[in-house]
């Protein structure tokens, strides 16, 4: 199934981004996923006013029961830190 991230702003606007790979949830190693702010801002989400972030597997519009485990860590919002 598709790995998704939905970001909701305080204004009520929300945007959902799908991972490019349909098999990323089957990966056995750590995978980094960088989501540009511009992709969510194009959906009307103001990234300086985020209320909620949801990470899911499958279609959020038609949820269904399933089994499995995924590990989500190091969620960061902002610009990457660069070494001096």
Could you identify the residue written with the tokens 């990234």? 47
Backbone angles phi, psi at 16, to 5 degrees: -120, 130
* Cα–Cα dist 62/58, whole Å: 8
pTM for the structure as a whole: 0.83
* Cα–Cα dist 12/28, whole Å: 36
Closest by alpha carbon to 7, among 44, 34, 57? 44
pLDDT digits (tens, 9 = 90+) for 35-66: 999 999 999 999 989 999 999 999 888 888 88
Mean pLDDT over residues 16-37, rounded?
A: 92
Per-residue confidence at 1, pLDDT binned at 50, 70, 90?
confident
Mean pLDDT of the chain: 88
Residue 39, C-beta contacts closer than 8 angstroms, at least 6 positions apart: 15, 17
């Amino acid at each position: 199934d598709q790995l998704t991230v939905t970001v909701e702003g305080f204004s009520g606007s929300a945007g959902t981004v799908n991972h490019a790979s349909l098999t990323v949830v089957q990966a056995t190693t750590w995978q980094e996923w960088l989501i540009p702010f511009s992709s969510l801002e194009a959906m009307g989400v103001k990234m300086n006013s985020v209320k909620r972030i949801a990470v899911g597997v499958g279609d959020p519009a038609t949820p269904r029961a399933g089994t499995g485990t995924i590990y989500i860590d190091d969620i960061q919002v902002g610009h990457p830190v660069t070494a001096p």
